[in-house]
Structure 1
Amino acid sequence: MKIATRLKLIGLFCAIVVALVAAILLSTTNQVRRELNKNQAADEVLNAVTALRYLSLEYGLRSERRVFAQWRLRSASLATLLASDTTFSGAEDAASMASLRTSFASVGRLFSQLVASRAQPADAVSDELASRLTGQISGKTQAMIADAMALAERSRQGVLAAQQREIAAVAAFGAVVLATIVASSLLTFRSLVGPLERLREGTRKVGAGDLDFKLGWHGRDELGELASAFDGMTEKLKQSTVSRRELSAANLALQAEIAERAQAENKVRSQLARLSLLQHITRSVGERQDMRSIFQVVIRSLEEQLPVDFCCICLYRQGSAALQVSCVGLRSAALAEEFAMREHARIEVGQNGLSRCVAGELVYEPDVAEVPFPFPQRLAGGGLRALVMAPLLVESTVFGVLVTARVAPSSFSSGECEFLRQLSEHVALASNQTELHGALQRAYEDLRQSQKTAVQQERLRALGQMASGIAHDINNAISPVALYTESLLETEPGLSDRARASLEVIKRAIDDVAATVARMREFYRQRETRVHLGQVDANRLMQEVADLTRARWSDMPQQRGIVIELCRRFEAGLAPLPGIDSEIREALTNLVFNAVDAMPDGGTLTLATRGVAGSAGAQAEVVLEVGDSGVGMDEDTRRRCLEPFFTTKGERGTGLGLAMVYGMVERHGARIDIESVRGQGTTMRLAFSLPDTPAAAAAPGAPARRKAPLRILTVDDDPLVQKALRTVLESDGHQVLAADGGQAGIDQFRSALQDGAPFALVITDLGMPHVDGRRVAAAVKAMAPHTPVILLTGWGQRIANDEDLPADVNLVISKPPKLHELREALAACVPDGDDA
């Protein structure tokens, strides 16, 4: 049998044994997996039974609905676990499962009795019954715990047994494989060593001239064929042998030719090695994008593969009298320190024999000890003798020098000098391309940033245009609510405390909506530099935010079975902070909404206030905190979360919430700090600086209010706004007539003049179809120049800020109007004593 056939059979046998081992491992692995599944199921049953026992005891003590609901959920999950028959197998497991089901049914009945007993009026009998039922439930659940622990213990024993079987099988088959390999190796070794030794001896004798030597054996394997061929070769050599003198002469000639060819081959091999090194360096340099990394690759390759004992690259600026060391090789660092040629060191050109190199010429000094210039002598002092300096040229301009040196004198061949010249050209070209690429990259980045800014501005402009129309509609919609709410709070003294508190929350929310609508244009318009800041009580403001957002962090999550706990940490004695309470309230509301969205499975919402003392010991800052224990943010999200239109909520988010918060912070001269860890929650801190001298709070004066009634004409195309205006004005004693639209208002005003019963005041909307408020005001002034006209519009704040008051309008009131604004406007336009 041939040797190759033997080896193939041995390999086939080993493959079969390995396949058997793999099959056994797969079988034992599946068994281990089944036992692990049983163990996991048993642990789940044990946890469910333990929770059921705890909840039963807690319900027996407090009878809370929350405990009852949790008991029902745990009971349902345990019932699902016990109903599954596929996980457990075997008689003992089946008996334990049957016992668990029986005990579970008993626990259910006992708990139902406990619930019924707790539903009865509390007395000694019901308490005693509840105590006994609780004890019976505890006993049943203890028995279930014992059964579940037995299941878990059997599954653990099964896992251990399966693992032991797996280890034993692997050890047994491993021993078989090892024994097979050892035996086959010994047999193969014995069948090869003897013939090979005989063949070696025959080769030695035939080489010594004994052509009569015969191996003398024949076999069916490869070695037998080799022996037959060897004997045939010796026979042919014996027939064609020449004289030793002729053979010696031919041998000498052959040796001389071999030496010549070896020399040529070494020369070609060296040239190929240098070309390969040049290709390697060029390819490595092409993959770099900065000049320093290019220089490092070149120097490291020269030190390792050329090799050289010292290497560095110096940069040169045209017109300068010195070189600057840019990069030094790692192996050359010690010598560079000795030569004072560390990175960024300067080398004078005129006094060091470098003028030829910076002029574009390759400089080779076989022995620098014979060169009378300071720079070569400095190298010779460190033990270096041979020096090559290659210029780095781009478009006939030298911008650097490649310096290489060796310890042995005259150690650079002409081929190596040519290689260094070619390498310097490649390095110069790559460096120039790197500079061009960097400039192009910077230009592209500038263009991309400009494009991004332009797109962002276009988005903001479009948003502002939409926001302007939306603001008008929202102000019209909430105007009746604002008027009726203020009227109820003022005219209904019999309201309950709860109703009055609810109306105040509604009023505050309407004010915040109006302020939000007024700020919607800030996304595309420059905000006024004059911002009137009031004195804001931080603790009161945080409590208002908690009340306004209660539905989001309490009611709505509870409907989904989620619990979010509110933690308040308000520091007492905080100084009032300067700000606009509606803007700060809205920003905190946005932060609370984000915190709730970050806790989809529930958690803790923290609202906190604290003061920060300054160097003098007095309060210097007031810090408002909104924290959550939710999903948190990674570093990239934390850095970008304040950008407009950036959101991680997908289609549910607009990306404007935190941008508006940041805008409020900037307008108030405050700062925002964000702390977030992925999976551990987020804390947002708003820090407001306190003035050195607290501003005295202005005492609120009595609002201006006209005592004499007026005859007023209101013009508006919205019937709800008309009705609300009429109601509140008539409650002050005024006579109010309403006109539906601009043309109707003009006609009604003209008719009243003709009848001798003119109106003392006209209140008109601005945006109306066909005839708007400006035309109404112009018509009124044309007919009665002294009749005051008040413009009531959703764009009122914008008109006032832009100083775009129409010529025929006396005052502008923003929607939603407030009662004191209406009264002050009436008193200002028609003072008491004027004709009504």
Structure 2
Amino acid sequence: MKISTRLKLAELFCVIVVAIVVTMLLLTSQQMKRELVKNQSASEVLQAVTALRYLSLEYALHHEHRTRIQWQGRNASLARALAVSQDFDGEEDGEIIAEMRHNLERVDVLFGLLVANRRSLAQAQPRIEVLEELETRLSGQITNKTQAMISAALVLSERSRAAVLAAQQRANAAVATFGGLVILVVAGVIVITLRSVTRPLDKLSEGTRIVGAGNLDFSLGVNTTDEIGDLARAFDAMTEKLKLTTVSRDELVRANAVLHGEIIVRQQAEQKVQAQLGRLNLLHQITRSIGERQDLRSIFQVVIRSLEDQLPLDFGCICLYDAAKQMLVVTSVGLLSEPLARVFSMNEHARIPIDENGLSRCVRGELVYEADIADVGFPFPQRLARGELRALVMAPLLAESTVFGVLVVARRAAYSFSSGECEFLRQLSEHVALAANQAQLYGALQRAYDDLRQTQQSVMQQERLGALGQMASGIAHDINNAISPVALYTESLLETELNLSPHGRHCLEVIERAIDDVAATVARMREFYRQREPQLTLAPVDASLLVQQVVDLTRARWSDMPQQRGIVIELRTELAAGLPAIMGVEGEIREALTNLVFNAVDAMPEGGTLTLRTVLGPEPEPAPDGAVAAPRLVIIEVGDSGVGMDDSTRRRCLEPFFTTKGERGTGLGLAMVYGMMERHGAHIDIRTAPQQGTTVSLRFLLPSEAAELAQPAGAYAISTSLRILLVDDDPMVLKALRDILEIDGHRVVAADGGQAGIDTFRAAQQQGEAFALVITDLGMPYIDGRKVAAAVKQIAPQTPLIMLTGWGQRLVPESDNLVQVDCVLSKPPKLRELRCALTQLFEKAEHGPAAQCADPG
């Protein structure tokens, strides 16, 4: 039998055995796969039950809404897993799954009772102990049920693992059995084959050596009928032919050389593939590293240092392109490249002009490779050549078809960059450009987000301030009505009672100023965050006199009240003599100084020194080239020796609603001072330090022309006795106005409310006793001042009408149409303003337009 036949029979037997083994392994693998799937399902159920138990305990401890939502989601997913589970096909597994479903339903019901009990616990305080006991029991039952489900899941998992081990043992036994059979068959074939093949092969090997040595007369003489016998006979025939033809040794040498050359080519190709693979791996590493960064500097540093370590390089840097100036700015230099960068002045932030060389082509988007820069005569290559660099590659960084930077790498050896490395640098530049562009977009997005957040905070603050202004409008009317009689009677007493004692007159003057300040504060409560409105009229103000008034107004706060607590605050006033007048609103400045004095007293809980000072700013130095010199300043300072402020408090002290006084403070004092200074075009300066006190300086620019202080106005009372209809819903205001007007000699008829005023005016017109003037309040119930004005103008269009408003002139809504009103006065009304308005109205009617004393409606 031929050797091949014997081998084929052995091969067929081995194939059959292997097929049986494979079949057994496939069957076992399928069973193992099913068991593994069952094990995975059991593990998932176990994890879900464990998570459900954890969420139940978490909810029982903290009762958070988020935990309840998570519990319900986990419960639903576990229910779906148990409902659709088809992996557990055994009868016992089915019973376990059914039991787990039943327990899950019970847990769902118990958790619902726990949630309901928690809501009852929050609402029913009398039964709190019973509900808490019920909550404890519900939590315990949920824990027991979930623990039972965990135990069932563990049983399922353990059963699946046991099945996997059994299937694996069966597979190992089958492999061992049939593997041993194959080994026996193969060993038998080998033994038989060796006996019939080894000896002839040894003889054939010996004959080959002999013939190879040149003895062509050798003959094997093997006469077997198998393949080796055929090979021996063919060998003998070949020997006979070799006798007839001999092969030239030169041809063998040439064939050997060809084979050697092919081997070298294959080795070179393999080296190129390995190098390309290394560059791709480096590109991947660099791309992954720069993808994790969001700022340009760190991206560029990662790229340069990776190239220095892995490519490697002798010099590397990245430059950003300034298209407007046609310059490259060195942004990042490699750590190993810094010594060379200092040699040819290419440190970070260095600028490189772009001339007609490789740089100009690179910024147009081309990859530039200079194999030997020693022969290039342009400035930039020559700068690099001073550091003994020879080979140069410049790769553009393009983003959206625009070059924004250049990657520069160089080596000392000429012609040292291969085409593969150039292609690698081109690809790397694309990745770097993309990452840099994303970093720039991220930075722009972050800045936009910060701007949006600041804008949102500003809008929210404006909304709060607007709400404060609206709230002020609501209370202004009642406050102004309440203080109107006080203001009118105080001003009348000061004017008519000439025999008042100096102390009594001084007290009345203080009351008058305090009432003015209250009225101004109410009218200006919504304006501390707004610029000065056009109707704010500035008048000359004596700063030193104003400080003396503030001292009198605040004496109780800095003297009497601290002394009751055994605290002494020493007052120092340093008032400059002969100060020029500043332009401002006296009431606003007085109120601002009052706020500053109150803050200074609050900053000295243990006592100290309160200093009020007025000075004239230093004369400016002559301006060069004939320029106009800056105006002088009048400075009002309020200082204390109290606790002072740190830097963070100093930066925020002018913000509305910011206070360091806790519940005692509103955070509006310094904000209103700041608003007043803004409306006056002045400047506020705060000098402070912790435990060293605070000094607040109010700096007012002097007007270009000297302002004259307002002198006490003379009487504006007109000589004619007028018949006046007075309409208001406040009896105190009616009485006060009536008394004041009657003192001036007028005949006054008072009407309580808008409807009564209209009826009185209509009846007087019908009886031929028309009123010469109508004075009406704006805010009245049912029939307000607008309707009164409309009715009066409809009955007698020529009758003058004065409108009184408790909201203040600046708090009248812009939408109000007061064209039928001849004059608008704010409450509390001033005698001077009222008389001026009467004079203005009647002189206008008799002699033409007169000087305006009050704001017209």
Please say if residues 384 and 408 of structure 1, whose CA atoms lie closer than 8 Å, have aligned partners that are also in contact.
yes
Partner residue, 1:656: 668
Which residue identity does 1:704 align to in structure 2? Y
2:646 is the counterpart of 1:634: yes
Three-state SS of the structure 2 residue aligned to 1:522 is: coil
Per-residue CA deviation, residues 751-789 of structure 1 (Å, 9 max, x unaligned), is 455566554433221211111223323434444555443
Partner residue, 1:536: 541
Q: What is the percent sequence identity of the aligned residues?
A: 67
Which residue identity does 2:540 align to in structure 1? Q
Partner residue, 2:296: 291
Three-state SS of the structure 2 residue aligned to 1:613 is: coil
- Choose the corresponding residue for 1:695, options 704, 707, 710: 707
761-770 or 308-317, which moves further after superposition? Answer: 308-317
Please say if residues 612 and 620 of structure 1, whose CA atoms lie closer than 8 Å, have aligned partners that are also in contact.
yes
CA distance in 2, matches of 1:574, 1:380: 74
2:578 is the counterpart of 1:577: no
CA distance in 1, matches of 2:643, 2:282: 53
1:689 deviates by 1.6
Q: Report the count of equivalent residues.
A: 568
- Choose the corresponding residue for 2:698, options 686, 689, 709: 686
Three-state SS of the structure 2 residue aligned to 1:313 is: strand
Partner residue, 1:724: 736
Which residue identity does 2:697 align to in structure 1? R
Please say if residues 310 and 329 of structure 1, whose CA atoms lie closer than 8 Å, have aligned partners that are also in contact.
yes
2:483 is the counterpart of 1:478: yes
Three-state SS of the structure 1 residue aligned to 2:515 is: helix
CA distance in 1, matches of 2:682, 2:445: 39
Q: 1:764 to 1:336 in 2, by over 3 A?
A: same
Please say if residues 349 and 355 of structure 1, whose CA atoms lie closer than 8 Å, have aligned partners that are also in contact.
no
- Choose the corresponding residue for 1:624, options 622, 636, 645: 636
Which residue identity does 1:624 align to in structure 2? I
CA distance in 2, matches of 1:766, 1:509: 24
Q: 1:267 to 1:359 in 2, by over 3 A?
A: closer
1:382 deviates by 1.9
Partner residue, 1:548: 553
Please say if residues 321 and 350 of structure 1, whose CA atoms lie closer than 8 Å, have aligned partners that are also in contact.
no
Three-state SS of the structure 2 residue aligned to 1:738 is: strand
1:464 deviates by 3.0
Partner residue, 1:464: 469
Partner residue, 2:522: 517
CA distance in 2, matches of 1:470, 1:293: 60
Which residue identity does 2:488 align to in structure 1? L
Q: 1:523 to 1:629 in 2, by over 3 A?
A: closer
Partner residue, 2:168: none
Q: 1:768 to 1:416 in 2, by over 3 A?
A: same
CA distance in 2, matches of 1:728, 1:292: 79
Q: How does 1:291-690 map to 2 (within 5 A)?
A: 291-299=296-304, 308-316=313-321, 323-329=328-334, 332-333=337-338, 335-342=340-347, 343-346=349-352, 348=354, 350-352=356-358, 355=361, 359=365, 361=367, 363=369, 365=371, 369=374, 375-385=380-390, 387-394=392-399, 399-407=404-412, 424-522=429-527, 527-529=532-534, 531-615=536-620, 620-690=632-702
Which residue identity does 1:557 align to in structure 2? P
Which residue identity does 2:351 align to in structure 1? A
Which residue identity does 1:678 align to in structure 2? P
Q: 1:692 to 1:781 in 2, by over 3 A?
A: closer
CA distance in 1, matches of 2:819, 2:401: 75
Per-residue CA deviation, residues 305-360 of structure 1 (Å, 9 max, x unaligned), is 87744321123579998755333346645533543545443354752488479755
CA distance in 1, matches of 2:606, 2:311: 65
Partner residue, 1:216: none
Per-residue CA deviation, residues 389-427 of structure 1 (Å, 9 max, x unaligned), is 455454676543322334466877999888866754553
CA distance in 2, matches of 1:279, 1:833: 93
Partner residue, 1:704: 716
2:833 is the counterpart of 1:821: yes
CA distance in 2, matches of 1:359, 1:761: 86
- Choose the corresponding residue for 1:792, options 766, 781, 804: 804
CA distance in 1, matches of 2:324, 2:757: 86
1:722 deviates by 1.6
CA distance in 2, matches of 1:516, 1:631: 28
Please say if residues 365 and 398 of structure 2, whose CA atoms lie closer than 8 Å, have aligned partners that are also in contact.
no
Per-residue CA deviation, residues 79-130 of structure 1 (Å, 9 max, x unaligned), is xxxxxxxxxxxxxxxxxxxxxxxxxxxxxxxxxxxxxxxxxxxxxxxxxxxx
CA distance in 1, matches of 2:699, 2:437: 50
Per-residue CA deviation, residues 243-283 of structure 1 (Å, 9 max, x unaligned), is xxxxxxxxxxxxxxxxxxxxxxx999999999998888667
CA distance in 1, matches of 2:277, 2:573: 79
Q: Over aligned residue pairs, what C-alpha RMSD do you find?
A: 4.3
Q: 1:388 to 1:758 in 2, by over 3 A?
A: closer
Please say if residues 673 and 685 of structure 1, whose CA atoms lie closer than 8 Å, have aligned partners that are also in contact.
yes
Three-state SS of the structure 1 residue aligned to 2:617 is: strand
1:497 deviates by 2.7
Q: 1:276 to 1:478 in 2, by over 3 A?
A: farther
Three-state SS of the structure 2 residue aligned to 1:589 is: helix
Please say if residues 391 and 410 of structure 2, whose CA atoms lie closer than 8 Å, have aligned partners that are also in contact.
yes
1:659 deviates by 3.0
Three-state SS of the structure 2 residue aligned to 1:572 is: coil
Please say if residues 774 and 806 of structure 1, whose CA atoms lie closer than 8 Å, have aligned partners that are also in contact.
yes
Which residue identity does 1:351 align to in structure 2? N
Q: How does 1:752-763 map to 2 (within 5 A)?
A: 752=764, 758-763=770-775
Three-state SS of the structure 2 residue aligned to 1:632 is: coil
1:610 deviates by 0.8
Which residue identity does 1:742 align to in structure 2? G
CA distance in 2, matches of 1:475, 1:650: 30
Three-state SS of the structure 1 residue aligned to 2:707 is: coil
Unaligned runs of 5+ in 2: 1-270, 623-628, 847-857
1:388 deviates by 4.9
Please say if residues 471 and 518 of structure 1, whose CA atoms lie closer than 8 Å, have aligned partners that are also in contact.
yes
1:815 deviates by 0.8
Please say if residues 708 and 832 of structure 1, whose CA atoms lie closer than 8 Å, have aligned partners that are also in contact.
no
1:441 deviates by 2.1
Please say if residues 599 and 630 of structure 1, whose CA atoms lie closer than 8 Å, have aligned partners that are also in contact.
yes
Q: 1:659 to 1:268 in 2, by over 3 A?
A: farther
Q: 1:753 to 1:563 in 2, by over 3 A?
A: same
- Length-normalised TM-score, structure 1: 0.59
CA distance in 1, matches of 2:279, 2:569: 72
1:816 deviates by 0.2
Please say if residues 523 and 811 of structure 2, whose CA atoms lie closer than 8 Å, have aligned partners that are also in contact.
no
Q: 1:829 to 1:382 in 2, by over 3 A?
A: closer
Unaligned runs of 5+ in 1: 1-265
1:508 deviates by 0.4
CA distance in 1, matches of 2:790, 2:378: 97
Which residue identity does 1:820 align to in structure 2? R
Which residue identity does 1:729 align to in structure 2? L
- Length-normalised TM-score, structure 2: 0.57
Three-state SS of the structure 2 residue aligned to 1:454 is: helix
Please say if residues 644 and 694 of structure 2, whose CA atoms lie closer than 8 Å, have aligned partners that are also in contact.
yes
Q: 1:295 to 1:815 in 2, by over 3 A?
A: same
Three-state SS of the structure 2 residue aligned to 1:346 is: strand
Tell me which structure has the larger Cα radius of gyration. Answer: 2
